Amino acid sequence: MPSNKSVSDAPIVQFTNCRILRDHQLQREDLWVREGKILNPEKLFFDEKGSADVQLDCKDSIIAPGFIDVQINGGFGVDFSLATDDFKSGIDLVSQKILSHGVTSFCPTLVTSPSSVYHQVLPQISVRNGGTHGAGILGVHLEGPFISKEKKGAHPEHCLRTFEAGAFQDLLATYGSLDCVQIVTLAPEMRRSSEVIRELTKRGICVSLGHSVANLSQAEEAVQHGATFITHLFNAMLPFHHRDPGIVGLLTSDRIPAGRRVFYGMISDGIHTNPAALRIAHRAHPKGLVLVTDAIAGMGLAPGRHTLGQQVVEIDGLNTYIAGTKTLSGSVATMDTCVRHFQEATGCSVETALEAASLHPAQLLGIEHKKGTLNYDSDADFLMLNDSLYVQATYIAGEEVWRQDVSGM
């Protein structure tokens, strides 16, 4: 038997009658999947003389890469910044529930907390692949406590920290471990932040600038030391000013190192950012825009009182406030809602809206060779959507993990 007859005996699934998002365009092609990866059909036909074992009619759906949420604080009554005995079951619940939003992998996010919370919670989170049990975990996003008091937003002031002598050791002592940390949000104007940014970057951890009163030159210096992300642009930072645009100015800065791209998160929920501001950012720097939910424990729950770490928050419609104030505190928007709102607010193409929630976060985390695209050999994490960008089904590693129940419609 010729050795190239078949590389693998695993079943090959062919998704037909669909439009695939590939190379920034919706292309009318079939999608071929085997062993959790996307196959090159030419290699299959000519090298292996193979064919499909199963054919699935997608009924003219859009097939797009799965969404990646790099900033989500919790949902469905679960708060990632609370150390509880059943923390693992909480993170499992959220990872299961967000499959219906099209999220196939995410970074659980902890807001500013006492050191004891990091020491209890971080060892309970591990990087893992997604599947029928839920979306994959890419690593933790630590938002604070090394942030500005003036721009603390919903973060508790008594837990904020500054960098003392031996700044990086101070950070390590605060968190306890960086083993599964993927992103750290800090304020770059803090003394000794440059050495911390360099050390984190050296370890492959993405540094994000946020909750900050940094001016543009401080932000540019942070990028030159390795920072690559901006946490929820416009929120918890100095407003744009024409003489010193602050962190916002990074979107059009000419002092970004060659070959480097600065990405920025946006909460496209219609509450945190006016549609005009969303349009300004997108037109200024379209390739850097990363949609994030910044969702809190109240996502998916009825209005009322919920938590965000050490604080009590009140949900009123789509608004979430620190109880008794008008300080916004995260969102209750789902990722698919953010994608639809972004497309509607900016008038961008369907492809652009989908890539802001898939390709761009994958590029930010340096995992675009396996996630965020439907390129050959990448992970078969993808969504079926209708033309209005409502998720109809979610697949992880080529396996259906969620489907819209249409029986009652």
Annotated binding-site ranges: 143, 154, 211, 232, 235-236, 243, 272, 328-330
Bridge partners of residue 79, in order along the sequence: 74
How many Å separate Cα 261 from the centre of its chain?
17
- Calpha distance 91→19 (Å, rounded): 33
Contact 154, 330 (CB under 8 A): yes
Q: Is 294 among the catalytic positions?
A: yes
Q: Which residues are annotated as a binding site for Zn(2+)?
A: 143, 211, 232
Determine which one of 79, 294, 336, 379 is catalytic: 294
Annotated binding-site residue numbers for substrate: 154, 235-236, 243, 272, 328-330
CB within 8 Å of 47: residues ≥ 6 apart: 4, 7
Helices (H), 225-334: 275-284
The rounded distance, in Å, linking the Cα atoms of 197 and 285 is: 23
According to DSSP, the β-strands at 31-34 and 12-22 are antiparallel
- H helices of 301-405, in order, are 335-346, 350-356, 359-364
Neighbour-count burial of 409, counting CB atoms closer than 10 A to its CB (0-12 exposed, 13-18 middle, 19+ buried): exposed
Half-sphere exposure of 207 (CA within 13 A, CB side): 25
Torsion of CA 256, 147, 264, 78, to 10 degrees: 150
145 preceded by cis ω (within 30°)? yes
Paired with 394 in beta bridges are: 383, 402
Q: Which residues contact 19 (CB under 8 A, 6 or more apart)?
A: 26, 27, 28, 60, 61, 62, 63
Strand partners, 308: 311
DSSP string, 62-76: EEEEPEEEEEE-EET
Q: Which residues are catalytic?
A: 294
